[in-house]
Amino acid sequence: MTSVDLGDFRITLVRAGRYLWDGGAMFGVVPKTLWSKHRPADDLNRIEAGLNCYVIEDGSRRILVETGIGVRHDERARERIGLAQPPGLRETLSAHGFEPESFDTVINTHLHWDHVGGNTVDEGGRALPALPNARYIAQRGELDHARERNPRDAVSYRPVNYEPLIEAGRFEIMEGDGPVAPGVEVRVAKGHNRDMTVVVVRSKGQTWCHLADLVMYSAQVTPTWTSGFDLFPLEAIDNKTRILGQAVAENWWCSFAHDPEVAFAKIEAREGKWRIHQSLA
């Protein structure tokens, strides 16, 4: 288990499995000759994607960021994305020493299937909150967009991952930036989609930022290395430039939603470029 201690907080990576996805889709307009040096592809051009979830603790609170891909995948889908049937989120958390009952908050950076797949569990023919004592936080605009079923990305949204939480009164809708708990906040960072948030924890002069899908892989810290999924690539570049610029200037720990190797990283500016200069696996 990999953790960083950040002032009053401890932040721990929990990987809720891995899957494979098309490398060209992950790296957008970046040529394969460049990205494949960082993330080698298999014979179907797929690269490994981690399902990186983070536990934020300060002794009184326990917050989960992202819930992974879940278990609702048929055999055909699992084969296509190279997914061994992962244990459920609850089992994964317990195996890491985090009992599901102990979480008070879940932050959904956005509602894409591979970030909220563990939000609910099927029990007795119903979908129920997987973390029974937690409130689940998401953005109003993201929920509206998910419900619009836009042809471009409707496939990324599975209502079972959020509608049952709304029905159960467990979904807490935020509009824009704001605190989730003392020292913990979400900030909207348009790019990957309109309302995705990054998560920022600050304590005693130190900062951690979970960049979610604004920067899926540590290899994408160069602002123009955006993903093919991004609905707003120009805003993605602007927001990466702004947020990573602050991360470099203030020596933040950063995390990426899908890097299968890097749990935490610090970024530096060298010879006019940004690169990872310290990382924890």
What are φ and ψ of residue 21, in 5° steps? -140, 160
- Least separation, in Å, of the C-beta of 64 and Zn ion? 17
Q: Contact, 255 vs 54, CB < 8 A?
A: yes
Piece of the chain touching Zn ion by CB under 5 A; list 29-37, 60-68, 83-91, 210-218: 210-218
Piece of the chain touching Zn ion by CB under 5 A; list 120-128, 212-220, 244-252, 263-271: 212-220
* Per-residue x/- track, 101-140, Zn ion (CB under 5 A): -----------x----------------------------
Q: Which residues pair with 5 in a beta bridge?
A: 10
Closer residue to Zn ion in complex, CB, 141/183:
141
* Per-residue x/- track, 135-174, Zn ion (CB under 5 A): ----------------------------------------
What are φ and ψ of residue 93, in 5° steps? -65, -45
Structure tokens that stand for 248 in this block: 């470099």
Q: Which residues make Cβ contacts (< 8 Å) with residue 78, sequence separation at least 6?
A: 84, 85
> What span, in angstroms and rounded, lies between the C-alpha atoms of 129 and 105?
12
- Least separation, in Å, of the C-beta of 193 and Zn ion? 7
- Least separation, in Å, of the C-beta of 157 and Zn ion? 10
- Least separation, in Å, of the C-beta of 194 and Zn ion? 12
- Least separation, in Å, of the C-beta of 110 and Zn ion? 6
Looking at residue 20, the DSSP 8-state letter turns out to be E
Closer residue to Zn ion in complex, CB, 121/236:
236
> What span, in angstroms and rounded, lies between the C-alpha atoms of 57 and 138?
20
Residue of the chain from 142, 213, 230, 259 that contacts Zn ion (CB under 5 A): 213
Q: Which residues make Cβ contacts (< 8 Å) with residue 126, sequence separation at least 6?
A: 164
Closer residue to Zn ion in complex, CB, 48/213:
213
What are φ and ψ of residue 212, in 5° steps? 50, -135
- Least separation, in Å, of the C-beta of 156 and Zn ion? 7
Within 232-271, which residues bind Zn ion (CB under 5 A)?
none
Closer residue to Zn ion in complex, CB, 248/257:
257
> What span, in angstroms and rounded, lies between the C-alpha atoms of 41 and 2?
26
Q: Where are the alpha helices (DSSP H) in 81-216?
A: 89-95, 113-116, 140-148, 163-167
User: Which residue ranges make up the site for Zn ion (CB under 5 A)?
Assistant: 112, 213
